Amino acid sequence: MPEAPTMIAGRYRLGEAIGSGGMGRVWLAHDERLDRDVAIKEIVLPPGSEEDAAVARRRTLREARAAARLNHPGVVGVYDVFEADGKPWIVMEHVPSRSLKEIVQEDGPLDDRQAAVIGLEILEALKAAHKAGVQHRDVKPANVLIADDGRVVLTDFGIATIEGDGLVTSSGQQLHASLDYMAPERAQEGEATEAADLWSLGATLYDAVEGRAPFHRSSAVGTLTAIAADPPDPMERAGALAPVIDGLLKKNPGERLSSAEAGRLLQAAAEGKPRVARASAVPVAPPRKNHDPSTVRPGPARPLIIGAAAVAVLLVVALVAFVAMRPDGTTQTPDDTAAAPGPAASAGAPSAVPSDASASPTAEPSPAGAATPSPTAPAAGGGDDDGGGGPGQGAARPQLPAGWRDYTDPTGFKVYVPNGWAQSQEGTMVYFRSANGRVLGIDQTDQPRPDPVADWSAQRDTRRAGGEFPGYREVKIAEVDYFRKAADWEWSYDTNFGRVHVNNRGVVTSPNQAYGIYWQTMESDWAAANKDLQLIFDSFVPRS
């Protein structure tokens, strides 16, 4: 295949080829006009007549129209479509990721809970597509991307159909879809329906937990025969996913689970009793009790979750549950949730200590405080009003390094943050998440606590007594010289996705202002990330 030009359409500079299949290949490119990375699908027209080429061009436009109609965090966005060098090109959102197929092949099958969480995200993307009148027609592990930032993204609507489009894919073209994941009615009659997409979801989930397709045979004819007449191969690892997989792989579309029924079963499987699993490279965001599509796409500009970065998202979603120690010494309990004060109203400095992923799979941040206890960064208040001393107080900030930006929060504090880290707001906490699993979270309160070391120690004991932080290894709980008064709680522990290392600093900057500065990396990345953490500490400026 000849090499593509370096610059196309006068604005897209092509880089390396990052994928191929279907009717073309995908390039990593840079949009020189908007200064952003994109993925560009080059459509390689089949050899043959002009009529064949015209069909391919129409199919390309159909793909672009299908995907462009969808505005959902679980669907790869389409930015542009054009012709260059006699071929159609589609400009898409660049999602650094691994496919579910690659993850299963490289890391082994997922456990049922991990697969259920991914299944929920795929289902939400399909529901959005179906609502827009689009059937995907080729849902399979290779088309499910686990992004480096934790998103689960459905891609390649290349053979999607649009209701009312008037262009019907021929029986020859329909075999561009993968036979292993094709619903029996599609294989037999070429019928593209929402129910057929749900079948493909069931086959994809089967593959995710079993490591193989449910009807795969040594030949295409054998596979098609099995899809039409045989039950799926027996499941050995599906666990809580077995009912939803069985329900989605019903031969008769009328007997197949609806999307609502599948969603309930997937949610139940995702919220099942957690277990400590082998370290996995698959980062998966925890299930959301109320799936609000508008909240799904925070992701850093890139790494699902999966690989080291996925860990971050899973844990960060459970970051800010607070044990709100009130000034009167009482402790907020789960029953106080309805009237729970936010961190800024609590008696403690803000905290971003995450609940353990396996111990609290459904925890989510709450602007009004948490329904489940979670540590609050301890902070101490001094006696005088001069703002105290320590690094950062009145000292010159370090020079802003290349590749970083000077972030100013709407509340007034400032801190250096690496370029490209995805920013999100969860309650009163602002998060910055990298593509390789590093997480920075900053919260604040106007009611500092009296003894940060004692408070950290008490919270450690409480959390550990509750079964959190398996494999807990404490590095320190110690006072540090920083502003008026501060203390660090540093520790590491095991999660379903690998071992993580955390430092949570509670810092008092004035008698009525304290901050929590949370930092998390994978254990293997901790040492390399230390210089970045120090720069963050040195550059932090509280509100004046």
**Residues with active-site annotation:** 138
Cα(65)–Cα(160) distance, integer angstroms: 10
Backbone angles phi, psi at 323, to 5 degrees: -85, 95
Q: Whose CA is closest to 507, among 433, 412, 443, 430?
A: 443
Give the start-end residues of each E strand in 127-230. Answer: 134-135, 144-147, 152-154, 161-162
Residue 162: strand pairing partners: 134
What is the phi/psi pair of residue 418, to 5°?
-60, 145
Residue 130: count of CB within 10 angstroms of its CB? 18
- Is residue 193 within 8 A of residue 182, CB to CB? The reply is no
Please compute Rg for the chain using Cα positions. Answer: 25
Burial of 239 (0-12, 13-18, 19+ CB in 10 A): middle
CA 115 to chain centre: 14
Q: Is 206 helix (H, G, I), strand (E, B) or coil?
A: helix
Q: What backbone phi and psi angles, to 5 degrees, belong to 500?
A: -115, 155
Structure tokens at 346: 């609590």
Residues in Cβ contact with 229 at an 8 Å cutoff, skipping those fewer than 6 apart: none
Angle subtended by helix axes 194-210 and 100-107, to nearest 10: 20
8 A C-beta contact, residue 137 and residue 160: yes
Cβ–Cβ < 8 Å for 517, 541: no
What element of type H or E holds 220?
helix 220-229
Crossing angle of helices 194-210/112-131, nearest 10°? 160
Q: Residue 62, Cβ neighbours under 10 Å: how many?
A: 20
Pair of tokens at residue 54: 């015209």
What does residue 244 show for φ and ψ, rounded to 5 degrees? -75, -35
The kind and range of the H/E element at 442 are: strand 439-445
Close Cβ partners of 253 (under 8 Å, ≥ 6 residues apart) = 183, 185, 193, 195, 196, 199
- Residue 308 has which token pair? 């080291």
Say if CB 439 and CB 520 are below 8 A apart.
yes
